[in-house]
Amino acid sequence: MRNSEFITGKVPITKEEVRAISINKLDLVNAKRFIDVGAGTGSVTVEAAYHYPNIEVISIERNDGALDLVHKNIEKFDLKNVEIVKGYAPINIDGKIDAIFLGGTGDNLEEIILWSKELLNNGGRLVANFIIVETFNETLKLLRGHGFENIDVSVLNVSKLERLGRGEYFKPLNPIYIISCERGEE
């Protein structure tokens, strides 16, 4: 889906190229339940729920303005397989989960990593996006320390063609760090 298809506001939306790669790394084909943490505009929630209509998507967001956008985008795409939860993760979720996306975390990183580990099935996927190098480094260290496996890290540098004077150029957007990994079997 293109970013222009979503209703947006003041919340920064995940770039469509980053979303495509992140959702691919979540490996939702056989998933039944997926959590989007820090749903923002709801773009990841919507895209996952739309392309995988058989999964249950739980969309967690703490900010009222963002929650309003999540509601509007879910309505726009007429999705019935999304549960929106207002709150600051980690929050109580019943039952096990197959995949978790961290699009926003706040300052309680370790709690979120431990909560994710508790919720995920063995082999369940965790994918996280970062723009801040320190948060990325800290998360990587925590994932390694808490036994997550098959950790894969990419940095995505997207540039978009834009007009410049009488010609065009590729305007670079800020790099995004993507971590993907699995909950190890215990």
Ligand X SMILES: C[S@@+](CC[C@H](N)C(=O)[O-])C[C@H]1O[C@@H](n2cnc3c(N)ncnc32)[C@H](O)[C@@H]1O
Question: Which residue number, 72 or 184, has a Cβ lying nearer to ligand X?
Answer: 72
% helix, strand, coil for the chain, step of 5: 30, 30, 35
Does residue 36 contact residue 103 with C-beta atoms inside 8 Å?
yes
Least CB distance to ligand X at residue 169 (A): 26
Question: Does 40 sit near ligand X (CB under 6 A)?
Answer: yes
CA angle centred on 137, ends 119 and 58, rounded to 5°: 30
Choosing from 35, 66, 93, 113, the residue that interacts with ligand X (CB under 6 A) is 66
Q: Per-residue string for binding with ligand X, 77-96, x by CB under 6 A? A: -----------xx-------
Tell me whether strands 176-182 and 120-130 are parallel, antiparallel or unpaired. antiparallel
Minimal distance, residue 5 CB to ligand X, in Å: 12
180 binds ligand X (CB under 6 A): no
CB-wise, 10 or 163, nearer to ligand X? 10
Residue that the structure tokens 């790669």 belong to: 21
